[in-house]
Structure 1
């Protein structure tokens, strides 16, 4: 299990290290050469005597133009101490491996991104002996992918989009598009990406949307994260009554999905959904809610039934 958003941001690069070079090329327009081979490296930069120092992710990339070290750091907030440690990391790595280090900072905050992008000068004012210019990926430049077809073209980039834009106003559309894209890849990779996103979503509303969307995806329930969600549901069910709790939770999930997708839900539809005592029917309505364009599409199989408010 991924235990934190900090860890999740780096596990995705371990899962798909090529995402790093694509982000440099496509997001930051850095002319990074096409990679031929990737090799994950030990992130411990501790020397024999000095204080322990670690980077978050370290990947060695072999290209036809030479080898590079991709040094990835994630930042939630400003940390002036990093303006001292980052130049040290790069100098140490170059001295140890004799190949060019590339510093990449990942953040979910636009303010932190602006701070991290500021050049670090060491030496005389106006004539620095060393200048470090971090390459920064964040909500200001990572594409906001809220279209299912776009997400399917590059699922890893769609995951990074969800991680960096997870507290923004379009989070529901972003997560819905990602769910559609995850259905197009193998179950093992999809389950790993599910966990990365779940660990990275700090905003409670975004996490709730993600958990509800995942309830309709079959592969999700074979992943360890599913056990945690099911246990939470079981605990809630014990407090409210097992069957009653499951029915209520499923009904509310259906209504929330419709609301998050911007579909107007009349009061009489709320009453109908909340009054349903058939769990399978509620699960069907929840799946339809993911793609419906209006509330009438929830009840497509009930021919002859008019969806109108009672007088």
Structure 2
């Protein structure tokens, strides 16, 4: 996911929010997205983040998946992603699913039976109810990626219209116009799919900014 790839500290935020303890003194970096075996089957994770100590020893990893809708194939692929990453890195691995859809969040949180009594693969799930709200202009500018995720999750609530305005202003403050355009595109795409009535597309500031970025 672009928002997390451009701001890996979001992974640390999600881990703290979900009660996952990261070993002290580790630096985070983007890991491989491939989980390929020698057999002719391709397995590609959304994003992998590796926590490494100054001596180079890998101490922890996070496999982060973004899931927009229920997909039965994930039940079989996700446990394999988790096991393969743990095997490759020889460290504990947290598997986190981010979704803007409450139904998908509930589906993930219910877990997947692995066949042995009590053995269930249950991803850590961050859905709309678990996403921290970024309500001030200062907070939005300080962490635009998290503000964008908040808007994507809570944009349908009329009480959060100030959140959309703050996000627009924060995005407009970015000196990198291509990056700003990507933020607008990601947020607009998510809101139009999950919260079409939120008013983002008709928001004068958002519309004007998008038009300006296209020129």
Which residue in 2 is equivalent to 1:62? 52
For normalisation by structure 2, the TM-score amounts to: 0.80
| Residue 173 (1) aligns with residue 165 (2) | no
Structure 2 distance, partners of 1:15, 1:135, is 22
Question: Please, which runs of 5 or more residues in structure 2 have no aligned partner?
Answer: none
Q: With structure 1 as the length reference, what TM-score do the two structures score? A: 0.58
Q: Equivalent of 1:138, from 127, 144, 149? A: 127
1:208 Cα offset (Å): 1.2
1:144 and 1:161 in contact (8 A); partners too: yes
1:79–1:169 distance in 2 versus 1, CA, 3 Å: farther
Whether contact under 8 Å (2:23, 2:60) holds in the other structure is no
Contact 2:201 2:207 in 1 (8 A): no
Residues 1:20 and 2:36 aligned together: no
Query: Looking at CA atoms only, which structure, 1 or 2, has the larger radius of gyration?
Result: 1
SS in 2 for 1:49: coil
Match of residue 106, structure 1, among 95, 98, 113: 98
Residues 44 and 102 of structure 1: is their aligned pair in 2 closer, same or farther, counting only changes over 3 Å?
same
Change (3 A) 1:45 1:106: same
Tell me the equivalent position of 1:42: 32
Which secondary structure does the structure 1 equivalent of 2:130 belong to?
coil
Q: CA deviation at 1:158?
A: 0.7
2:84 match: secondary structure: helix
Separation (CA, whole Å) in 1 of partners of 2:43 and 2:94: 17
8 Å CA contact 2:33, 2:47 repeated in 1 = yes
Seen in structure 2, the aligned counterparts of structure 1 residues 44 and 136 have a Cα distance that, compared at 3 Å, is same
Q: Give RMSD over aligned pairs.
A: 2.8
Following the alignment from structure 1 to structure 2, what is the Cα–Cα distance between the partners of residues 93 and 118? 22
Query: 2-side partners of 1:19 and 1:80: how far apart?
Result: 27
Unaligned ranges ≥5, structure 1? 1-9, 228-311
> Is 1:157 matched up with 2:151?
no
Q: Which has the higher helix share?
A: 1
1:74/1:105 contact within 8 Å kept: yes
Cα deviation per residue 1:29-48 (whole Å; 9 max; x = unaligned)?
33224574333233232323
Q: Distance in 1 between matches of 2:19 and 2:197?
A: 33
- What SS does structure 2 have at the residue aligned with 1:31? coil
Residue 98 of structure 1 deviates from its aligned partner by 1.8
Deviations 1:134-171 (A, max 9, x none): 11111011023333233234322111111222344445
Match for 2:202 among 209, 215, 224? 209
**Residue aligned with 1:42, SS:** coil
Q: How many residues align?
A: 209
